[in-house]
Amino acid sequence: MTNIKIRKIKASEMRKAYELVRELAIYEKAEESLTIGLEEYNKQFEEQLFDILVAEHNSSIIGMALYYPTFSTWKGKMMYLEDFVVQEAFRKSGVGQLLFDAFLEEAKTQDCKLVKWQVLDWNEPAINFYKKNNATIEDEWLSCKIFL
C-alpha cells in the first residue's frame, strides 16, 4: 500500500488511539474488559508511561503500535508491545508490517536487547504474521495477572 506514513502520535490524537484500542478489544471479544478512559490515556501519555507509533493514510490514522520500555533481568533493557492494531479495512495490505518494522527499529534505537508481546492463541492471522517475522512463540510460559 502506498501513501502510508509511520510516525509518533501527537497528544492531540489520543482519542483516535483510544478508538483503535476499542476496536482491538472488540476484535478480541473482550470489549467489557476495556475499563480505562480517554482521560487516563491522556494523563499517562503526558507522564510518558507509553508511546505510540501510528500508521497514517491520507491524513487519517489507520493503525498503531502502543509500547513502553521495561527490563529483563536476564537480557537487560527491553520494549513491550502492548497493543498492535490496524483498522480492519487496511489489514493484509502491508500496513501492519510497516508498523511492526518501525516498532522494532524504535526498540533498536533505544538500545533494547529484546521485545515482547502477547498474542491470543486463537488469533491465527496474528500468529502467522509473527511467525513470518521470525518471532519465538512460547508455549511453556503462562501469563499471570492480578487486578487491583
User: At 2, is the pLDDT very low, low, confident or very high (cuts 50, 70, 90)?
Assistant: confident
Query: Which residues sit opposite 64 in a β-bridge?
Result: 54, 85
CATH class of the domain defined by 4-132: alpha beta
Average pLDDT score, the chain: 95
Would you say residue 1 has pLDDT above 70?
no
Joined grid coordinates for residue 120? 491470543
DSSP conformation letters of 21-38: HHHHHHHTT-GGG----H
Q: 131: burial class by Cβ within 10 Å (0-12, 13-18, 19+)? A: exposed
User: Which one-letter amino acid corresponds to residue 37?
Assistant: G
For the chain, give every domain's residue range: 4-132
Q: Taking the CB of residue 72, how many other CB atoms lie within 10 A of it?
A: 12
Distance CA 20, CA 127 (A): 20
Residue range 85-128, pLDDT digits in tens: 999 999 999 999 999 999 999 999 999 999 999 999 999 999 99
